[in-house]
Structure 1
Amino acid sequence: MEIFGSTFDDSVFLEARDRVSVALSSYNAKLCKPEWFCESTALDTDDPLEKQKVFKFRGDLAVRQGNHQKALDAYSSCLEWIADNNLTIRRDVLEGMARCCTRLGQRDRALDLVDLLSKEASNTCHLISLLLLKVSIYQHFGDVRSKMSSLQQLCSMLPFNPWHWYSLGQTCLQLLESDRTTGPCSPQRFESVEEQSAEQQEEAAEMDEDKIWLKACTCFIRTRLLLRILRQQQSSFVLQRTESTLKTTDEVLQRLNPKETTLQALTEVVSEDLIPEKMREDYQDGESLASVCLQSFRGRWWNKILLTGVLETDGCQHQTQTDTES
């Protein structure tokens, strides 16, 4: 019996056929001066692709220089010359316009551009980029509750990314502090993305202080678990960042002051899926949205957490330490 891999195909030892050399035609590379696209003559062309490049480069340069109105004008002009099948550049330009509108204080226009991008999202990469864009817009305008909703969507899409969990926990802390100083406030503007609407309606009834506190504890516990797993494979400045965040997470949990039984119950719930095989196979970047079945944040974690009864057992004990420090 032959051992697998112990024999070779005869073709391996055959002489290679004589290769016919093909003479390459001469090629002269196009040389461009620095910032050639800023010259007035750069638009003296009938090629739509060249005009698209000129306006795109002008917009990118203006953003780098901090001139967001000039960048917005250039991106708007660029949009007119983008071919219908060039979806990548179109998404890039629309996102640039949304970020410029944000910096210029044009909140409604920025969110309208986000809605337009959401209709064209076709894979998980698009949706993740869209959610990150929403987070930056809401953060700029101080819309903490909408930012929290987008971060929960990110945590549902990328459940093993500790930085989204950490950001969600920090947002919960911010919401706790704002509610104590100004009182509860109603959500400002919610998006029309189909997969978010139902969850947002449920969240509107969940914004009392105790539940936000519990969600903050959950996020920081999940962050700590994920970072402890990741640091085994890290080194250098990456490991330093992880260690620093772990220290901050421990300090925040001490300030939140949950009971030991609460810590144990929450740790058990949020660590159920921390299995190496599952962590490698969960949602791959670029997967089609049609084949992705996402559970909402509530369905995946929150309902299980409420079933533990930690709110009833912990009560409002957490308010004693956090109130004295604020």
Structure 2
Amino acid sequence: MEIFGSTFDDSVFSEARERVCESLSSYNAKLCEPQWFCESAALDTDDSLEKQKVFKFRGDLALRQGNYQRALDAYSSCLQWIADNNLTIRRDVLEGMARCRTKLGQREQALELAELLNKEASNTCHLTSLLLLKVSIYQHFGCVGPQRSCLQQLCSLLPFNPWHWFNLGQTCLQLLDCDSDMERSSEAVNGESEEDQEGAAELTEDRVWLRACMCFIRTRLLLRILRQQQSSFVLQRSVKTLQITEEALQRLNPKEATLQALTEVMSEDLIPEKMREDYQDGESLTSVSLQSFRERWWSNVLLAGASQINGPQAKP
């Protein structure tokens, strides 16, 4: 009687077929001089792909050099030669144009380009890049309210990224530095409305203070987990950010009960398995169910108990 799994198929021991090596035609690599695309002769071609490359490279170089008008002109020319199915290059060029418009002080035009990118976004990578672009636009023009809204969306989309939480906390500190509640309210009304449509009452000093505490506590929790796997300059960056985070929390000065309550709420989902698998880059937006910042984080904080979550303790 044969033991199950003790026999082998004869094909396992048969000799491998001899591979036929076909002769390959010789290949001569194209050699290009540095910044060859800047020469006028580079456009002496009928190939639309080559023209696209030339204008794209010119735009990238000008943007890097800080010549934003020249970069914008090059990107605009490049856009005319991009094939309809080449969405990757199209998105890259549109983002470059938006950044040029921002540097040139053209806020509305930059936001219009961002809206084009928004309509074409199809996965989490697209949405992440778009939100980061909008953050840079609003930050450049000092629009703290809309900037905060975009950062909150980033924290909901990528909840285990400490840098988004840190930047959101810094933005809340900026709001706390505003002269009055009216100024904070106008930031939200005049800027881009949030998904959860927060009213002016939500932007009182106590609420903004509480959100700042939430963000820095979340940042501290995430960085403490991640630094165990880091080294070199990456670890140095995390350690430096942790130090800034601790200083921010000292400035906010929450009571011990508040600190414990917020730490418990903001650490509920920090499970290693979930941190590895949830919200993978490139996932289709149709399969991503995003909760608003208020629904996912703010409501949980309020449920933790108003008696425990109070303003800063009095300093001696």
The Cα shift of 1:242 comes to 1.6
Change (3 A) 1:2 1:101: farther
C-alpha spacing 1:113/1:205, structure 2 compared with 1 (3 Å):
farther
Q: Cα deviation per residue 1:25-52 (whole Å; 9 max; x = unaligned)?
A: 1222222222221111221222111111
Deviations 1:95-127 (A, max 9, x none): 000001111111110000000000000000000
Letter in 1 for 2:106: Q
Indicate the SS of the match to 2:76. Answer: helix
Which of 231, 237, 241 is residue 235 of structure 1 equivalent to? 231
1:222: which partner in 2? 218
Look up the match of 1:277.
273
Provide the residue aligned with 1:289 in structure 2. Answer: 285
Q: Tell me if structure 2 keeps the 8 A contact 1:170–1:216.
A: yes
Aligned pair in 2 of structure 1 residues 259, 157: CA closer, same or farther (>3 Å)?
same
Q: 1:198 aligned to 192, 195, 199, which one? A: 195
- Deviation at residue 291 of structure 1 after TM alignment: 0.5
Change (3 A) 1:7 1:120: farther
Gaps of 5+ in 2: none
Matched length: 314
Give 1:257's aligned amino acid: N
- Distance (Å, rounded) in 2 between the aligned partners of 1:277 and 1:181: 41
- Going from structure 1 to structure 2, the CA distance change for 1:235 and 1:62 (only over 3 Å counts) comes to same
1:68 counterpart letter in structure 2? Y
Cross-structure match for 2:91: 91
8 Å CA contact 1:269, 1:305 repeated in 2 = yes
Task: Name the TM-score, length of structure 1 as normaliser.
Answer: 0.90
Q: Distance in 2 between matches of 1:316 and 1:28?
A: 70
Q: Give the secondary structure class of the aligned counterpart of 1:198.
A: coil
- Counterpart of 1:40? 40
Query: 2:123 maps to which residue?
Result: 123
How far is 1:179 from its partner? 3.5
Which residue of structure 2 aligns with residue 114 of structure 1?
114
SS of 2:195's partner is helix
The whole-number CA distance in structure 2 between the counterparts of 1:9 and 1:280 is 40
Q: Which of these residues, 252, 257, 267, is aligned with residue 256 of structure 1?
A: 252
For residues 6-155 of structure 1, the aligned pairs below 5 Å read 9-155=9-155
Check the 8 A contact 2:176/2:208 in 1, yes or no. yes
RMSD of aligned residue pairs (Cα, Å):
2.2
CA distance in 1, matches of 2:10, 2:228: 47
Give the conservation status (yes or no) of the 8 Å contact 1:124–1:289. yes
Deviation at 1:279, TM superposition (A): 1.1
- Kindly tell me: are residues 170 and 44 of structure 1, through their superposed partners in 2, closer, same or farther at Cα, counting changes over 3 Å? same
CA contact (8 A) 1:179 1:185 kept: no
TM-score when normalising by structure 2: 0.92
Larger displacement relative to structure 2 (231-240 or 282-291) = 231-240
Do 2:181 and 2:203's aligned partners in 1 also have CA atoms closer than 8 Å? no
Instruction: Tell me the equivalent position of 2:261.
Output: 265
Residue deviations 1:127-167 (CA, integer Å, cap 9, x gap)? 00001111111111111111100000000011011111111
Tell me which residue corresponds to 1:170: 170
* Cα offsets for 1:252-288 (capped at 9, x unmatched): 1111111111111111111111111111111110000
Distance 2:206 2:3 in 1: 69
For 2:237 and 2:195, the matched residues in 1 are separated by 36
Supply the distance in 2 between the matched residues of 1:49 and 1:189 (Cα, whole angstroms).
42
> Residue 99 of structure 2 contacts residue 137 of structure 2 at CA under 8 Å; is this kept in 1?
yes
Is 1:52–1:82's contact at 8 Å kept on the other side of the alignment?
A: yes
Match of 1:213 in 2: 209
Letter in 2 for 1:303: S
Identity %: 73
Please state whether the residue corresponding to 2:203 is helix, strand or coil: coil
- Conserved in 2, the CA contact under 8 Å of 1:123 and 1:289? yes
Q: Distance in 1 between matches of 2:194 and 2:37?
A: 43
- 1:172-209 CA deviation, whole Å, 9 max, x = no partner? 01110124599435136544xxxx7532x225441111
> How far did residue 237 of structure 1 move?
2.1
